[in-house]
């Protein structure tokens, strides 16, 4: 399942983002109907703790792509049901810059 997460500077002026790592990095997180995160692209990975000062001009975007194979972090296929998916741009703030959740329903 292809996922695309885009962060856009919708203002009329450039901004400087403070991003975790030497290159802009985004996580994709899938949670189940109970709110548990069942899959995260970056789960278990170790990331560099540098903060990059990233200028983003007005109207410009950062995009990240990922394929989710409908498995959990433990490689088990997810059961049918409703899921929420978020993209999270990793920043100097622990919460990051997150997209609103997108609802997904997986059926048989």
Partner 1 sequence: MRHSRLLVSGFAAAAALGLAGCQDDSGPTSPDAGVPSARVQSSQGADLPSADEFDRKVPGFGGFFLDRAGAPTIYLSRGSSRGPAEQALAGYLSGRGLSTAAVRVLEARYGWKQLQRWQEAATVEALAVPGAVFVDNDETSNRVRIGVQNLSAMGQVRAAVARLGIPDDAVILDRAEPILQVATLQNVVDRPVRAGVQINFPGYLCSVGFNATSGTQKSFITASHCTSTQGGVESTPYWQPLQSVNGTQIATEVADPVYVRNGPGCPRGRKCRYSDASRAAYINGANQALGLIAQTSGANNGSLTITGSFSIKADDCGTRGGCLPVGTTVNKVGRTTGWTSGSITNTCVNTGVSGSNIVQLCQTFVSAGVGGGDSGSDVFQITSGSNVKLAGVLWGGNSGGTQFVFSPFGNVTAELGTLITH
Establish if 57 lies at the interface with partner 1 (CB under 8 A): no
Helix or strand run (H / E) with residue 17 = strand 15-20
Establish if 33 lies at the interface with partner 1 (CB under 8 A): no
Closest separation between CB of residue 14 and partner 1, Å? 7
- Among 34, 35, 36, 44, contact with partner 1 (rule: CB under 8 A): 44
Contact 39, 29 (CB under 8 A): yes
Nearest to 62, CA basis, from 87, 36, 80: 87
Contact positions vs partner 1 (CB under 8 A): 1-16, 18-23, 25, 27, 40, 42-53, 56, 58, 63, 70, 77, 80, 85-87, 89-94, 97-100, 102-108
């Amino acid at each position: 399942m292809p996922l695309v997460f885009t962060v856009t500077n919708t203002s009329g002026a450039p901004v400087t983002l403070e991003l975790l790592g030497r290159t802009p990095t985004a996580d994709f997180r899938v949670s189940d109907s109970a709110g548990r995160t069942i899959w995260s692209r970056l789960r278990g990975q170790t990331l560099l703790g540098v903060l990059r000062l990233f200028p983003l001009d007005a109207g410009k975007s950062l995009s990240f792509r990922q394929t989710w194979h409908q498995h959990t972090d433990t490689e088990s296929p997810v059961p049918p049901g409703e899921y929420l998916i978020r993209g999270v741009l990793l920043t100097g703030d622990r919460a990051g810059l997150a997209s609103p959740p997108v609802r997904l329903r997986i059926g048989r």
